[in-house]
Structure 1
Amino acid sequence: MASIPLKKNHVATRPGMARFLGQWGMFFRQFVKHPGMIGSVIPSSQMLVDAMLEEVDWDATRLFVEYGPGVGTFTQSILERMHPDATLIAIDLNLDFVAYLEAELTDPRLRVVHGSAADVRRFVTESGSQQADYVLSGIPFSTLPDGVGAAICAETAAVLRPGGAFLVYQYSAFVRRLLTPVFARVVEKTVWKNIPPCRTFRAWREEALAKAA
């Protein structure tokens, strides 16, 4: 499906409490409908969001990609940190989440697309870019059909610039076996101040050989 660019230049359209309740209601309904697509019944905490985004070089980032943005818990924080000239591509298989983000987040730097993370290179090309600086994912890799997780990791490694990073948060260690064959370095940590505690992975694409030499 083609990208869905959003027009207006602000992040949210509803006041804080109404937006919070709307997010929780949408998230819970989608968890009940598609439990295998969503890692937890509770949206990620701000502590987890901050832990995942704290090491991003925002000044140098011009293309950030998010897999499975859901109700935009990470999406909003990414937009708040992003350079004015940067672009965020948010990819989700769930049309309800796509429609929700399109209605709620109206920042022109955001492009919401309906589709699979395995098609990330096509979505990046359609945006007018060739490579991403960072890719963030909360997709529950342990519940994906055989081969899909490995394909997503391989496509992510291919779309990242040399030295770019794949940032993954999960509630199991399963994804590590998919990351290590295709990324030069993988660092795992745990964010305990999240319900439930969450594992985080930072996987870096190898620097260009000429630069390394």
Structure 2
Amino acid sequence: MKNLLFLFQYILRPRTVGAIMPSSRFLASKMLEDINFENASVIVEYGPGTGIFTEQLLKKRLPNIKIILMEKNQEFYNHLINKFGHRKNLFIINDGAENIVKYLAELEVFNVDYVISGLPFASLPKRISKSILTSTKRVLNDEGKFITFQYTQRKMSFINHYFEKMHIKREIRNFPPAYVLSCNNERSI
């Protein structure tokens, strides 16, 4: 069911969905490898889609960790509400990631430990990508990490402009294979 939902949304909105299938559990595991759940208090997820990463976050988190999902696509948002809407300390917002600062203020969250992203920066308009990355850098705490994946290396230097320290991993057990970028919020000296 969720694969059909994903495929249908890709056909309707290829620039914002970015892939024909949801991410694999292998990619989800690799995306969460750099998260220290013992010390985290707030995790934001951009573009959770059908909730592959969200499922893993919910399994691994401690009960006091707040998870904030930013999903712009109405159909995915409805799916996430139906699937996860009853969970404590989980906030599902139907808006674009570029507006994260506004929603954090409403939730009285002043900084974030991790932002994980399933957004397709390669197909998003450049001004939206800039706004998302600028806002992300602003909301992350000093030790915060931005973790995203991309199918090509095309946008790596663009992302690297905002997060100078970037560790790259490859996950080939995903269709298509993906690069996982784990970016620190601190600038290199």
Q: Give the TM-score taking structure 2 as reference length.
A: 0.94
1:37 is matched with which residue? Answer: 16
- Pair 1:194-2:174 in alignment: yes
Among 107, 116, 119, the residue aligned to 1:139? 119
Q: CA deviation at 1:78?
A: 0.5
Aligned length: 187
Say if 2:151 is the partner of 1:171. Answer: yes
Give the Cα–Cα distance (whole angstroms) in 1 for the partners of residues 140 and 90 of structure 2: 18
Paired residues for 1:49-68 under 5 Å: 49-68=28-47
Q: Which structure would you say has the larger Rg?
A: 1
Deviations 1:32-60 (A, max 9, x none): 11111112111111111111102210011
**Structure 1: tracts of 5 or more residues without a match:** 1-21
Structure 2 alignment gaps of length 5 or more: none
Give RMSD over aligned pairs: 1.4
**Helix, strand or coil at the partner of 1:90:** strand
Letter paired with 2:111: Q
- 1:26 matched residue in structure 2: 5
2:78 to 96, 99, 109: 99
1:103-152 Cα shifts (integer Å, max 9, x gaps)? 11121221110111111111112122101100011111111113211221
After TM superposition, give the deviation of residue 178 of structure 1 in Å: 2.4
AA matched with 1:52: M
Match of 1:88, SS? strand
* Separation in structure 2 between the aligned mates of residue 128 and residue 199 of structure 1, nearest angstrom: 33
Paired amino acid for 2:126:
D
Contact 2:31 2:147 (8 Å CA) reproduced: yes
- Secondary structure of 2:180 counterpart: strand
- For the 8 Å contact 1:118–1:155, the answer to whether it is kept is yes
Q: Deviations over 1:66-113 (max 9, x none)?
A: 000111111111111111001111001111111111011121221110
3-state secondary structure, aligned to 1:142: coil
TM-score norm. by structure 1 comes to 0.84
Are the aligned partners of 2:147 and 2:181 in contact in 1 as well (CA < 8 Å)? yes
Residue 148 of structure 1: SS of its match in structure 2? helix
